[in-house]
A and B are shown apart, each in its own frame.
Chain A
Amino acid sequence: MSTTAQATANAAVNSPTAKPSSPGLVRRVLRRPAAVIATAWLALLLLATTAAPLFTAHDPLSQDLDNVLSGPSGSHLLGTDVLGRDLLSRLLFGGRSTLGAVVEALTVYLLIGVTLGLLAGYRGGWVDWVTTRVADMMFAMPPIIIVLVVLAVFPGNLHAAMITFGILGAPGLMRVLRAQTLTIREELFIAAAKVAGLTHGQILRRHVLPRMASTIIVQGALFSAIVVIIQAGLGYLGLGAQPPDPSWGGLVADASQAIDRDPWMLVPAGVPLVLTVVALALLGDAIRDAAVEKWSVSKASSGPDKAKAKAAAAPADAGSEAPLPPDPQALLSVRGLTIEIGGTRVVDGVSLDVAPGETVGLVGESGCGKSVTSLGVLGLIPGGGRITAGSVVFDGVEVSGSRDAMAAIRGTGIAYVSQEPMVALDPTYPVGRQLAEAVHTHRGGSREEARKRAVELLDSVHIPNPEAVARRYPHQLSGGMAQRVAIALALAGEPRLLIADEPTTALDVTVQAEILGLLRELQERTGMAVLIVTHDWGVVADLCRRAVVMYAGQVVEQADVEPMFARPMHPYTAGLMAANPHKAVWGEPLPTIPGAVPAPRDWPHGCRFAARCDLATDACRADAVALTEPQAGRLTRCIHVQSLIEEGSLR
């Protein structure tokens, strides 16, 4: 185990550009208390067994028949056995063969398992076929019987037994690593490495093996623990070290024979065995975690930053203005909606209205909180997030506080269509059955009626030959068809509002045009309102009457679409529109917004766009900027809006 870990560590440290300041693997492992205890135990064991004569005054074989089964005493720290032999001495001398066995079996296990696993997964073809078949055959063999056969051929030869056990265990590791390699082989960074001219050996060593490190370490540790137990078992059966030579298994056997006369003897015989097995497992886990922590993403997104996020989020309260009361005319009226995920505020005081039959676009880049806002309206915030302030009024009823009210409007009041239609569909049922189930849930009625209605729904989203498509499974549909089915599913409850989160982003442009056309048509036919989340100005222009632009968790601009396109009143809106290559001038650089959307925990106190804005002044950064209404029907969160209007030349 340690050899592999060391190899991985070396690969990381020796590489020319590794950052010298990052602590080495050993130090990162030793930061974990469990690892320290496990290492201490294993180190103590190693030291005590190798230097056994220094630790014990008695020869493991010398008998003291006056002192049999004595229990712990001054001269025999752990007591004596039935023949009066010192148990500590026998334990330490016996431990040598245990550790030796682990090293032998593990070496063989890793050598065969890693080599064949990588080879089979990476090369594929006949190499993979042969290796996998051989491994399957070996799975069918009972390892303990094979080991017994080997011991029958080489009586008392524990080395042969352990090497055999390593060989028999290797197919398990090989299969796991092969499966992982198959996945990693398809990753783009492998293709990039090939294009960079790396040889297969270099790719395996530099790209595949580091990704496997955690699996290899954990599997190795578990296997070592099994070896300890198997080795003890063989000793117990008297097949390992031949009596009177000591072994841990032999100690257990001796103890079991004396169990009625002196139960104490089980303690020195069993406890070290258990501790060693536990220590190996714990150390394996710790090394795995330490090897991966440098680059695993989850680490970076949690931890000490949380406190900072809270501190940063607190003063923002001062800036959020008291929202207006909900609009009684609106179908959906969101006021001051604030959502936190994992203690970090990701949506900050969002207010918006959707009138009956209206189409509103929620626009922004990723990380601006537009998807979370739309899910918040439905009470379906991902990642254990929750609404910490604000209200969601649907059709005159406040729903944000109550789980039941939220559940009641989902489907019949508000339906949802996501970017990835396949996620909305259960791959194990035909689409017709899923639709019928949704219809049945919302409208009741007989099975036959629900089935008929399901076909009608498929027809209403212009699926050719709906009867046949109803019998198909989701994987048999193209992306555009699947999105149509997902929309049909959303329509099953005859919702009054459809929230569509990037419904066409994953689709081809010609299919997108059809889905947008379908949404418009459904809207005209049913009078349903649509809140569409998108980053695409073309979609906004095509479908929406009004647009709400979000940046870093806040609404920064809101207006009817035509005046907004004619003259954006927030620099972010203007910049985002200008960056669209649709209107670009050939041969000239595209207008850009420098930088990127800040992460929620890095939101500044003042204007959140200031760092990327040409117009920003000290006043922008000083204090949170309020949403104002410089012209009727136009909201903007910019203190320079007057100069934007006067300039008038933005677009």
Chain B
Amino acid sequence: MTPPNILEVRDLSVQFRQGRGTPPLRAVDGVGFTVREGETVGLVGESGSGKSTIGRAILGLNPVHSGEIRFAGQDITRAAPRTRRGLSDRLQVVFQDPYSSLNPARTIGQTLAEPLLVHEKLGKAEVLNRVTAMLERVGMPADTAGRYPGQFSGGQRQRIAIARALMLSPKLVICDEPVSALDLSIQAQVMNLLAELQSELSLSYLFIAHDLPVVRHLSHRILVLYRGQVLEAGDAGEVYDRPAHPYTQALLAAAPEPDPAAQRTRRLARADAAGAGTGTAAAPSATGCVFAHRCPIAVDVCREKRPPLLTLGAGPDGAPSSERSVACHLVVEPPVPSPASAGPKHLPRPKNP
């Protein structure tokens, strides 16, 4: 049985004014997806793809131009401040920059106690207990509460930011590039912490990042965004191993593999692919596919008509592909698994809770 949706986003558009005489920038352009209870959905894309804007729109930090956001069945697209405050015990956030996301002038204890102020009237001792317990859960020493953010490293601050998000046992946490600013060894620690907390507290994550391997590791499903539009969506493992959209393929091919021999092969393969460049000279098409100006396989229709996001047909083994959708005129069926990627690296995926 499929667990119910905690978050439903339909045809979401967010626009930013760019000053007089210039048309508004469509940062997010008709994006739709759902997040089920206990599930992690990854939003992946490069800068300017609108991935963070989607997160901020869900949190009410950016105004929505059109579309609908429903959280636990409730329409929160343009929720009033009072409604927003009521949501804060179920909908939380972890931001990318652990240096800016904690107020340097306030102790960790004061920052962590804040969510409690809104929802529960607790005594000082009780608040301190809750704060200390949560800090311990994220692996911080007990004396953290009395200290200031300036005394902690980036990784520690990110643990503290996670603790703040979890103070009120939320259902959905928007993770906006939570590990991008961290060093490799610290990044792995924080990713593991997020995974542990998810299974312990049956959290849902909307995991926003630019690094496909990171998103892939934590997500059940992935949406690939480019210039505010979803170009490909589907099961995380399938999108990662068998990317269907040319952009997803370019994104995967561009990330260098930490293996000299394999990377050399990839590099040569990429050099063979015609027009693999980002085509800095060409302007994106106004009416056609947003990726057409960079796409190695683009044909005339791509520059004229925007391809809709369509669910692909049956998978290669005859079974229905798990909700794989691609916005491309030229991709109409799921890619066949290549022998190289069908290795034992990919364990059978555990079903959603």
A and B: interacting chains: yes
> Which residues of the other chain, B, contact A463 by a CB distance below 8 angstroms?
280
**Contact, CB under 8 Å: A197 / B88:** yes
Report the bound CA distance from A157 to B233 in whole Å.
Answer: 75
Q: Does B68 contact A (CB under 8 A)?
A: no
> Which residues of the other chain, B, contact A18 by a CB distance below 8 angstroms?
107, 109-110, 146
> Which of these, A192, A479, A592, contacts B93 with CB under 8 Å?
A192
Report the bound CA distance from A468 to B161 in whole Å.
Answer: 45
Residue among B118, B149, B195, B217 having the largest count of chain A Cβ atoms under 10 Å = B217
Report the bound CA distance from A514 to B259 in whole Å.
Answer: 19
Interface-facing stretch out of A63-71, A165-173, A183-191? A183-191
Q: Return the CB mask of B224-250 against A: 1 if under 8 Å, else 0.
A: 000000000000110000000000001
Report the bound CA distance from A211 to B100 in whole Å.
Answer: 13
Q: Does A159 contact B (CB under 8 A)?
A: no
Report the bound CA distance from A70 to B116 in whole Å.
Answer: 70
Q: Does A581 contact B (CB under 8 A)?
A: yes
Q: Does B171 contact A (CB under 8 A)?
A: no
**Contact, CB under 8 Å: A211 / B103:** yes
**Contact, CB under 8 Å: A509 / B188:** no
> Which residues of the other chain, A, contact B3 by a CB distance below 8 angstroms?
none
Tell me the minimal C-beta distance from A540 to chain B in angstroms.
7
> Which residues of the other chain, A, contact B259 by a CB distance below 8 angstroms?
541, 565
**Contact, CB under 8 Å: A197 / B118:** yes
Report the bound CA distance from A517 to B270 in whole Å.
Answer: 11
Residue among A188, A198, A295 having the largest count of chain B Cβ atoms under 10 Å = A188
**Contact, CB under 8 Å: A509 / B255:** yes
> Which residues of the other chain, A, contact B309 by a CB distance below 8 angstroms?
none
Report the bound CA distance from A590 to B262 in whole Å.
Answer: 21
Report the bound CA distance from A555 to B315 in whole Å.
Answer: 50
Q: Does B341 contact A (CB under 8 A)?
A: no
Q: Does A587 contact B (CB under 8 A)?
A: yes
Report the bound CA distance from A193 to B270 in whole Å.
Answer: 45
Residue among B46, B146, B260, B270 having the largest count of chain A Cβ atoms under 10 Å = B260
Q: Does A31 contact B (CB under 8 A)?
A: no
The count of chain B contact residues (Cβ–Cβ below 8 Å) is 98
Report the bound CA distance from A584 to B149 in whole Å.
Answer: 31
Report the bound CA distance from A211 to B56 in whole Å.
Answer: 24
Tell me the minimal C-beta distance from A371 to chain B in angstroms.
13
**Contact, CB under 8 Å: A296 / B150:** yes
**Contact, CB under 8 Å: B185 / A210:** no
Interface of chain A residues 248 through 294 with chain B (CB within 8 A)? 292, 294
**Contact, CB under 8 Å: B100 / A581:** no
> Which residues of the other chain, A, contact B253 by a CB distance below 8 angstroms?
513
Q: Which residue of A lies closest to B110 (CB)?
A: A15
Size class of the A contact interface (CB-based, 8 Å): 35 or more
Report the bound CA distance from A294 to B108 in whole Å.
Answer: 13
**Contact, CB under 8 Å: B47 / A365:** no
**Contact, CB under 8 Å: B280 / A481:** yes
> Which residues of the other chain, B, contact A294 by a CB distance below 8 angstroms?
148
**Contact, CB under 8 Å: B250 / A510:** yes
- Supply 27 A–B pairs (Cβ within 8 Å), ascending by A: A16-B127, A18-B110, A19-B109, A21-B146, A22-B146, A187-B103, A191-B101, A195-B61, A197-B85, A210-B106, A295-B106, A463-B280, A509-B212, A510-B46, A510-B278, A517-B267, A539-B256, A542-B256, A561-B260, A562-B260, A565-B259, A581-B211, A581-B216, A582-B213, A587-B349, A591-B188, A594-B189
- A593 with B185, Cβ < 8 A, contacts A202-B117, A294-B148, A581-B191 known: yes
- A538 with B256, Cβ < 8 A, contacts A197-B118, A206-B114, A596-B186 known: yes
Report the bound CA distance from A542 to B268 in whole Å.
Answer: 11
Interface of chain A residues 570 through 588 with chain B (CB within 8 A)? 575-577, 579-588
Q: Does A297 contact B (CB under 8 A)?
A: yes
Q: Does A17 contact B (CB under 8 A)?
A: yes
Q: Does B347 contact A (CB under 8 A)?
A: yes
**Contact, CB under 8 Å: A582 / B258:** yes
